[in-house]
Structure 1
Amino acid sequence: MPSARYGILLSRINDHVLSWGQAVAGGNDPYARELARQAREREKARKAAEAAAKRKAREEKLAYEAARAQEAVDRTSVAEHDAEQLAKLLRSSVLDGQPLTFDRLRQEFVPSPFIPPKGRIKAAPLPRWEEYEPEPPRGLLGALGFGRRGHDAEVESARKRFDRALRDHARDEKKRAEKLEEARAQHKERNEEEAARVEQWNTALEERRNAYRDRDVETVEWFVNQVLAASVYPHGFPKANQVSFQADTGDLLVEIDLPLEDVVPAARAYRHVKTRDEITPIPRPEKERKELYASVLAQTALRTVHELFNSDTEGVVQSIALNGHVATIDRATGRDVHPCLITLQADRAEFSQLVLTQVDPRACLKRLRSLISPNPYELEPVRPLVTFDLSKFRLMDSLDVVAGLDSRPVLMDLKPTEFEHLIRQLFEAIGLDSVNTQPSKDEGVDAVAMNTDPVMKGLCIIQAKRTKNVVPFETVSALAGVVEHKRAAKGILVTTSWFGRASEAFANEHGRLELLDGANLVHLFKEHMNLDVIPGPVPPKKRPR
């Protein structure tokens, strides 16, 4: 503000001076004419400065608006590129993608060149006597022999310095050569280690290839996981998956996580609103978003099957069953859910006849044996055509324990295997598909069950403890480890006794563990099997607190 008032005051002074100068300009006063000229120059300069400032402000405003408009264009280009990538998920993989094969997994050793450390490449130049030799006496006195004694002393001193410099040079050169050789040896050792690592990898890979040809289940599942991990998708696609291979039939079951609906850009374009200086999105129509999302799911399913068949150059996999899930939260309950939105089965011969670059993904899925969510945008689930058949567990024949029980059996009197089978029958009565595992290698698993509900489905690990003492916390913790290792949806620990507070708190915090004590068993057997049981000698209601 003070500068503005000063400018106004200066302008008024210039106007007064100019008026006064014009009034006297008609006279012959040189001083008055000079004042008038100076006033005119100042006024001219002031107006020129104001015009330049306005011009600069206009240019800056235009440049800013152009930058903001370009920002809107750039954001529109990103949205268009993202949508185009989603629309070409399948086509780009078929045309541009190279299948991951065992040959492509091989590694090639390329020795790295040796780069000497800085300062160790060249030897330092040898000291030269000329750099140390003193000048002889000159002139008439030198010719007459005067000063020779002093010169001889200087020569002797220079000779000593020169010899010392030669020794220092030899020592430094030896040290340099040793350091250089040490660096060369270390580099050679690193190359040899890398060559050994590559050879070890390729040898193990060749063993895997032979095992793959022999349909070794673990090797086939390992290779399938490698193929799935190598597939590159746009940002926002999850990489979680499970695989199971049946060696006798060549059937492969794959479960993958699909992206959520927010993978489709919500904005079709962006524009700059000058009046508010805002970049606002132009929303993508809801119908277009839903159609693109449904297409993304269909393309992902077809692309996964294509890449797996294409990578299987040995012809080990004869058919693929694929279930596509999404990991999300149920908005009604707030709980984690994993609904299946796409499920399909495809034989190698049938799938090889498809021209994937020309198909409509959703129409192609309908032609195959598949089920597609009628409303994937709302996460409406479908029932998978094929689920994991529990082949990774060693299963044993079921035993009907209920038929041989008295009217009110004491659970503690049962044999361990009878108790485990009784628990299996209980969960089958509850509604789960349940089987028992072999006791020799069950890894802490007494039974496995499948929840076939399309939304909350998954593998359940069941462990039964027939004991009259409190179940140790370590047992609960170990079950949690088995649940994580088996990628199970839930772990259930059943006992005839009770659990400590630490175990109950741990199970609640874990979220996928359920503890059923003796009191729960009494209720469940009565409700689902109409069976009255006695947990054991310690009544649950008197368990220690």
Structure 2
Amino acid sequence: MAEVAAARRRADEANAKVDAFEQAYKKRQPEAVNDYLELTLESRTLPTGVPADVEVAYQPDIHRLLVVMELPGVDVIPPEIEHRYVRAKDEIAAKPRPAREINQRYSDLVAQLVLRTMRDVFDVASKDLVSEVAVSAHVSTRNRATGKPEQPCLISLITTREQFGDLVLTDLDPGQCLRHLNALVSKHPWDLEAVRPVFDPDLSRYKFVDAHDAASGLDSRRVLLDLDPTEFEHLVRQLFEAMGLKSWVTQASRDDGVDGVAVNEDPIMGGVCVIQAKRYRGVVSTEAVRALAGVMGQLKASRGVLVTTSWFGKQSHEFATEHGRIQLIEGTHLKHMLQEHLGLDVVIGELKGGLRRS
């Protein structure tokens, strides 16, 4: 009887955990949603040789699910077309599959697996829970030159529920479908030629953390003028942190810009640095440059930096040169800095006069 009672207690405890998990999911608690969707994807029935490993991160504020999935290697495609018995030699002879066919079959397979993963997410998650899915599909392998383990990304994309809902999955070509969805797709997946993921595959930074990583944005060609103020703020912060500034504190801004105060720890050139970023479409006024000098004086800052997506006039450049401790960074320079320090390729956007800076 004691063994039966103990078994019942264990069952009751397990059931209570399941009930609690169900209630947490119904309440849309991010951790529960995250765990449920990950368990659902990992429990799918997949073809032989296809790994079921996935990792997900749920972003409740924008109803987006990030999925990092494992793809099989090219050896999942059988290297032989058929086997036949040769009576004269009393042996089984294999007919090899042409390399071109292996490559095409592998390309189709990885595309189909990505599309199926997105379909499975949209099928199990309600519309109010997940409206976008971003997938980064990787292969576990070893670098042929160094022998070290690596996971090149072969396919990466983000798709809304509406975009995916318009697809007729039974009648489409998987490769062309990915191009239709603006996916980043390896040109030679069978050679493990990688593409740059549309988000950082280290999902730990996304899980249940309020901080937003703008530099790991979901579009490899972000348009700076299309960013909202919060995204722009985090992008500027990350840029200057990558350049060595620490202890960033964002100040209130009233002109659709960013006012940051950071510390340069360099023992010679260091000190407090005031950084202002203006997400402008037209010329930045000289008054803005003079105002930066005033803020520097109030904070006893050793340096001031004014960044803009547009440009400065002649008087602004002359004032900065005369001041001696103000640096002006225009849109084209900002674009170069983002590429150099964050590896981020961006487009500035349409400036006044219809000029578009790419």
Distance 1:452 1:200 in 2: 49
What secondary structure sits across from 2:81 in the alignment? strand
Distance 1:276 1:234 in 2: 35
SS of residue paired to 2:103: helix
Query: Hey, what's the Cα distance between the residues in 1 that align with 2:247 and 2:182?
Result: 32
Q: Find the partner of 1:312 among 117, 125, 130.
A: 125
Aligned residue number for residue 272 of structure 1: 85
CA distance 1:266–1:316, shift in 2 (3 Å): same
Shift of 1:292: 0.9
2:64 to 240, 246, 251: 251
Matches within 5 A, 1:378-393: 378-387=191-200, 390-392=205-207
Moved more, 336-345 or 193-202: 193-202
For residue 239 of structure 1, give the secondary structure of its aligned residue in structure 2.
coil
* Structure 1: 5+ residue stretches without partners: 1-184, 410-427, 434-450, 454-545
* SS of equivalent to 1:350: helix
1:402 equivalent in structure 2: 264
* TM-score normalised to structure 2 length: 0.57
Higher helix share: 1
Residue by residue over 1:45-75, the C-alpha shift from the partner in whole angstroms, topping out at 9 and shown as x without a partner, is xxxxxxxxxxxxxxxxxxxxxxxxxxxxxxx
Residue pair 2:247, 2:263 contacting (<8 A) in 1 also: no
Superposed CA deviations along residues 208-245 of structure 1, whole A, max 9, x for unmatched, are 23322333221111112211220122232223322111
Give aligned-pair identity as a percent: 32
Q: Distance in 2 between matches of 1:431 and 1:311?
A: 41
Partner of 2:19: 206
Contact 1:246 1:252 in 2 (8 A): yes
1:291 Cα deviation after fit: 1.2
| CA deviations over 1:146-165 (Å, ceiling 9, x no partner) | xxxxxxxxxxxxxxxxxxxx
1:216–1:334 Cα change, 3 Å? same
**In the TM superposition, what is the alpha-carbon distance from 1:397 to its structure 2 partner?**
5.6
Deviation at 1:386, TM superposition (A): 2.3
Give CA-to-partner distance per residue, 1:397-447, whole Å, 9 cap, x none. Answer: 6373326733699xxxxxxxxxxxxxxxxxx999775xxxxxxxxxxxxxx
After superposition, the Cα gap between the structure-2 partners of 1:432 and 1:208, relative to the gap in structure 1 and judged at 3 Å, is farther
Offset at 1:319? 0.7
Q: Residue deviations 1:143-196, cap 9 Å, x none?
A: xxxxxxxxxxxxxxxxxxxxxxxxxxxxxxxxxxxxxxxxxx46xx53x55554
Distance change in 2, residues 1:236/1:280 (3 Å)? same
SS at structure 1 position matched to 2:95: strand
Query: 1-side partners of 2:338 and 2:196: how far apart?
Result: 21
Relative to 1, partners in 2 of residues 1:329 and 1:214: Cα closer, same or farther, differing over 3 Å? same
Contact 2:63 2:128 in 1 (8 A): no
Find the counterpart in structure 2 of residue 225 from structure 1: 38
SS at match of 2:154: strand
Indicate the SS of the match to 2:169: coil
Query: Residue type matched to 1:243 in 2?
Result: V
The equivalences for 1:518-537 within 5 A come to: none
Q: State the Cα distance separating 1:354 from its structure 2 match.
A: 2.2
Query: Which of residues 63, 73, 95 in structure 2 aligns to 1:282?
Result: 95
Alignment of 1:2-41 (within 5 A): none
How far did 1:327 drift?
Answer: 0.8
Higher mean C-alpha displacement, 308-317 vs 218-227: 308-317
Partner in structure 2 of residue 216 of structure 1: 29
What one-letter code is carried by the residue in structure 1 that aligns with 2:41?
Answer: L
Does the 8 Å contact 2:83/2:95 carry over to 1? yes
> 2 CA distance for matches of 1:408 and 1:308?
49
The residue aligned with 1:333 is 146
> Does the CA-based 8 Å contact 1:327-1:338 persist in structure 2?
yes
Counterpart for residue 468 of structure 1: none
The question of whether the paired residues in 2 share the 8 Å contact of 1:255 and 1:322 is answered with yes
Q: Within 5 Å, which residues of 2 pair with 1:127-146?
A: none
Cα RMSD between the aligned structures? Answer: 3.1
SS of match in other structure, 2:167: coil
Q: Which consecutive segments of 4 or more residues in structure 1 shift more than 6 A?
A: 428-432
Shift, 1:313, TM fit? 4.0
Instruction: Indicate how the Cα distance of structure 1 residues 431 and 228 shifts in structure 2: closer, same or farther if over 3 A, else same.
Output: farther
Deviation at 1:197, TM superposition (A): 4.0
Write out aligned runs for 1:348-427 (5 A).
348-387=161-200, 390-392=205-207, 398=248, 400-402=262-264, 405-406=267-268
CA contact (8 A) 1:257 1:326 kept: yes
| Structure-1 separation of matches of 2:86 and 2:344 | 53
Contact 2:46–2:52 (Cα < 8 Å) also in 1: no
Tell me, in whole angstroms, the C-alpha distance in 1 between the residues paired with 2:52 and 2:247: 36
Unaligned runs of 5+ in 2: 212-245, 250-261, 272-336, 346-358
Q: Which residue of 2 aligns with 1:81?
A: none
Q: Distance in 2 between matches of 1:370 and 1:202?
A: 42
Corresponding residue for 1:296?
Answer: 109
Q: Distance in 2 between matches of 1:343 and 1:236?
A: 21
- C-alpha distance in 2, partners of 1:432/1:220? 35
| Distance of aligned partners of 1:206 and 1:432 in 2 relative to their CA distance in 1, 3 Å threshold | farther
Native 8 Å contact 2:133 2:159 kept in 1 = yes
Q: Sort the Cα spacing of 1:334 and 1:361 in 2 relative to 1 into closer, same or farther, 3 A.
A: same
